[in-house]
Amino acid sequence: MAFLPRITSPADVRGLRPAQLDELAREVRRFLVASVSRTGGHLGPNLGVVELTLALHRVFESPRDTMVFDTGHQSYVHKILTGRTDFSELRQRGGLSGYPSREESEHDVVENSHASTALSWADGIAKAHALSGADRHVVAVIGDGALTGGMAWEALNNIAAGQDRRLVVVVNDNGRSYDPTIGGLAHHLDTLRTTRGYENFLAWGKRTLRRSGPPGRFAYGALHGLKKGIKDVVAPQGMFEDLGIKYIGPVDGHDVVAVEQALRRAKAFGGPVIVHVITEKGRGYVPAEQDVADRFHAVGRIHPETGLPVAPSRFGWTSVFADEMVKVGRRRPDVVAITAAMLQPVGLAPFAAEFPGRTFDVGIAEQHAVTSAAGMAFAGLHPVVAVYATFLNRAFDQVLMDVALHKAGVTFVLDRAGITGDDGASHNGMWDMALLRLVPGLHLAAPRDEPTLREALRSALDVDDAPSVVRYPKGPLPEAVEALEQLDGVDVLAREGSTGPSVLVVGVGPMAHVAIEVARIVGQEGVSATAVDPRWVLPVPSSLVKLAGEHERVVVIEDGLVEGGVGALLAQRCGEAGIGVPVQPFGIPAVFLDHASRAQIIEDLRLRAEDVARDVLRSAGHGRQGT
């Protein structure tokens, strides 16, 4: 590698000659493929922004000029150019985050893994600079997928009002988010992408007039009229210009010199400018370029030569949901599917293949997805809204006011619930149960294995007068556990010990397996323990409250927030019923978790069976105390 080892800061990039940039871009791509194939991470988005990021750091002076990436998974090249080239532990504890991180570098401002927020950040920063008189620029790099989110358009509306603010919006247009970008905006950008003949036509007209001698008023008027007449046909950038924001583009995003020239024009303008850059996701890596399913958006460990996984994916929670949705769809024509730009990741692709007219990808617009679902329910359908658990946070008001208030039969399927780990604080789906317990009438199921997931989905779809939720974690499925018996809907999974103090161990969802092991351990210490799985945790089953009253102590293990979680709610319900049994909840504290593996985080939080059992015994003042 001739150039990459010399790059320790953006100043080194600015010191290169234009002829050297193509070689540096090739080196960066080789580095990305070699590094990400060993650790996993977001490969496709970063291969697509190599030249764009080089140009950004040649034109703007980070960190004096602020760069915000939307979403932050396209910031790997930015990390490299700002001196962070140790990718050996990317997205692992102690290594680089998969997103921008203020803790890593002064060049990072916003972690920004939830889409469509960068323009609002940029607007706020630019306003602050204008008020302080700072001679600094703000650059927001936003993917065309993120522009499908309504918040981006709220920001554009405000950006247009600040004509004195030095703000550059770079639209990184590759036609994809996780899947091909959908909606009216995508069609508009497609038109811009394919109609570069407009500028060519104007250039031809001006050359013709120059060759014909000094132009008269008529000739200039004719050219102006023709320009105006064809503008909306071949160059509908008027959508942006009508907002009052100057538009430059489209520009070939893999021509670093052309991008640099466009950015310099935007920088010199002195007001808000949109620079429309056309890029190719996965550029320069043949397996990614040839992949139509966008498997290289985010990858696990892969063979760099072929792009094939090092280890085959195990049959997981998402696959079970995908299979059951198709089965349900065949039986129930009223069931429709909605997702927010994540058709493949949440497992709706098989349903879409069989029922394309009943599948709706609304783009990165969770709020719209939820309220649109309420409308569908009113009109007689039963929508299934499938999103990552962390992204439902963005539509809480719509769940509350549009779905629950109107008693709409909408089912929410929350993938990646609980601890996800390697994508960092913003991707842990740990908030859902604490938030959703506030929604009147809402039903929430936390299945423990494949059979209970299938049954939970079918039961949720029978709820037609309230929101219902099915949530499950990331990763492979555990072994199925059959109930010893059912007590009014609560599954009894294990009974250990026959004498001594009695403890009820409640396992929520995948933590049911931990509950079984906790019961076994404390049972060996002379404690009579019963492990149960309520399956439906919201509202709290009355049978679970009754069962709690039959024991001397209750332990609740959950992969959500302890504060306001299922354990806290069970304690409240026991108190309301006049049951004074102590309830000891184990779960996640109200903190943002650093990126690490799921196993590491569970160990840190003392959610392993041996840790919970030790704490239970200590609290009960019984048996082995341990450390």
Domains belonging to the chain, first-starting first, are 4-195+236-289 (3.40.50.970), 196-235 (no CATH), 317-471 (3.40.50.970), 491-620 (3.40.50.920)
Q: Which of 57, 4, 56, 60 is nearest to 29 (CA)?
A: 4
CB 417 within 8 A of CB 346: no
Q: What percentage of the chain exceeds 70 in pLDDT?
A: 87
pLDDT tier at 610 (50, 70, 90 boundaries)? very high
Task: Say if residue 250 is preceded by a cis peptide, omega within 30 of 0.
Answer: yes
Q: In what order do the strands lie in the sheet with 335-339?
A: 359-361, 335-339, 382-388, 411-415, 468-471, 443-445, 536-538
What is the pTM for the complete model shown?
A: 0.83
- Write down the catalytic residue from 27, 111, 324, 366: 366
- Write down the catalytic residue from 394, 416, 437, 471: 394
Arithmetic mean of pLDDT, 422-449: 91
Give CA–CA dist 399/349, Å, rounded.
Answer: 24
CB contact burial 64-78 (16+ within 10 A = b; e otherwise): ebbbbbbbbbbbbbb
List the helix and strand counts (H, then E) for the chain.
Answer: 25, 18
Does residue 615 carry a pLDDT above 80? yes
Q: For 3-40, what is each residue's pLDDT tens digit?
A: 999 999 999 999 999 889 999 999 999 999 999 988 88
Annotated binding site: 73, 113-115, 144-146, 174, 285, 366
Residue type, 132: S
What is the pLDDT, as a whole number, of residue 316? 92
CB count in 10 Å sphere of residue 99: 28
Give CA–CA dist 197/206, Å, rounded.
Answer: 14
Q: For 70-129, what is each residue's pLDDT tens digit?
A: 888 889 999 999 999 898 888 888 888 888 888 889 999 988 778 888 999 999 999 999
What is the pLDDT, as a whole number, of residue 287? 81
366 is catalytic: yes
Does residue 190 carry a pLDDT above 90? no
Q: Which of 96, 95, 90 is nearest to 39 (CA)?
A: 90
- Write down the catalytic residue from 79, 136, 166, 281: 281
394 is catalytic: yes
Q: What SS3 class is residue 316?
A: strand
